[in-house]
Amino acid sequence: MFNAGDTAFILVCTTLVFIMTPGLAFFYGGLGRRKNMVNNMMNSAFIMGLGVVLYMLIGYSLSFSESNNNFIGSLKYFGLLGISKASLTGSIPTFVFVAFQMTFALITPAIITGSIAGRMKFKALFFFIALWSVFVYYPLAHMVWGGGLIGGKIGALDFAGGDVVHISSGTTGLILAILMGKRIDYMSISYRVHNIPFVFLGTGLLWFGWFGFNAGSALAADGLAAHAFIATAVSAGGGMLAWILLDAIKQGKTTLIGACTGVIAGLVGITPAAGFVDIWAALFIGLTVSPVCYGGIIIIKKIFKIDDALDAFGCHGLGGVWGGILTGVFVNPEINGGQPGLIYGQSTQLIAQIKGIIVTFIIVIVGTLLCAGIVRMFTTFRVKRKEELIGLDISEHGENAYPSFTGLD
Is 138 within 8 Å of 54 (Cβ atoms)? no
Region 274-300: mean pLDDT is 97
User: How crowded is residue 398: how many other Cβ atoms within 10 Å of its Cβ?
Assistant: 8
Q: Give DSSP secondary structure letters for 61-118.
A: HHHHS--SSSS---STTGGGTT--TT-EETTEEHHHHHHHHHHHHHHHHHHHTTTTTT
Expressed in percent and rounded to 5, the helix, strand and coil fractions of the chain are 70, 0, 30
Q: How many CB atoms lie within 10 A of CB 244?
A: 17
Residues 379-402: pLDDT tens digits?
Answer: 999 999 999 999 999 999 999 999
Q: How far apart are CA 45 and CA 154, in angstroms?
A: 35
* pLDDT at residue 190, as a whole number: 67
Q: In whole angstroms, give the CA distance from residue 124 to residue 297.
A: 26
With a pLDDT cut of 90, the percent of the chain lying above it is: 94
State the pLDDT at residue 227: 98
pLDDT of 24-71, one tens digit each? Answer: 999 999 999 999 999 999 999 999 999 999 999 999 999 999 988 999
Q: Does pLDDT of 185 surpass 90?
A: no
From the list 336, 306, 363, 305, the residue with the least C-alpha distance to 132 is 363
- What is the Cα–Cα distance from 324 to 318, expressed in whole angstroms? 10
The alpha carbon of residue 187 and the mean position of all alpha carbons in its chain are separated, in whole angstroms, by 27
Give the whole-angstrom CA distance, residue 49 versus residue 137: 16
143-152 confidence digits (pLDDT tens): 999 999 999 9
Which pLDDT band, with edges at 50, 70 and 90, does 407 fall under?
low
pLDDT in tens, 324-381: 999 999 999 999 999 999 999 999 999 999 999 999 999 999 999 999 999 999 999 9
Do residues 174 and 306 touch, judged by C-beta distance below 8 A? yes
Label residue 403 by pLDDT band (50, 70, 90).
confident
Its pTM surpasses 0.85: yes
pLDDT value, residue 404:
73
Full set of structural domains in the chain with CATH: 4-393 (1.10.3430.10)
pLDDT score of 409 more than 70: no
Q: Compute the average pLDDT of residues 99-106.
A: 98
pLDDT (tens digit per residue) in 115-154: 999 999 999 999 999 999 999 999 999 999 999 999 999 9
> What Cα–Cα distance (Å) separates residue 120 from each residue in 177, 364, 367, 390, 395?
9, 20, 19, 14, 11
Distance CA 77, CA 74 (A): 8
Q: How far apart are CA 129 and CA 392, in angstroms?
A: 18
- Tell me the longest C-alpha to C-alpha distance in the chain: 63
pLDDT band at 186 (very low <50, low <70, confident <90, very high): confident
Q: Spell out the alpha helix ranges (H) of 271-347.
A: 279-298, 312, 318-330, 333-336
Distance between CA atoms of residues 152 and 203, nearest Å? 34
Q: Report which of 231, 289, 221, 267 is spatially closest to residue 20, judged by C-alpha positions.
A: 267
With a cut of 60, say whether residue 408 has pLDDT above it. Answer: no
What is the rounded average pLDDT for all residues in the chain? 96
CA distances in angstroms from 366 to 69, 132, 162, listed in the order given: 18, 11, 19
Check whether 262 has a pLDDT greater than 70.
yes
pLDDT surpasses 70 at 188: no
pLDDT digits (tens, 9 = 90+) for 305-315: 999 999 999 99
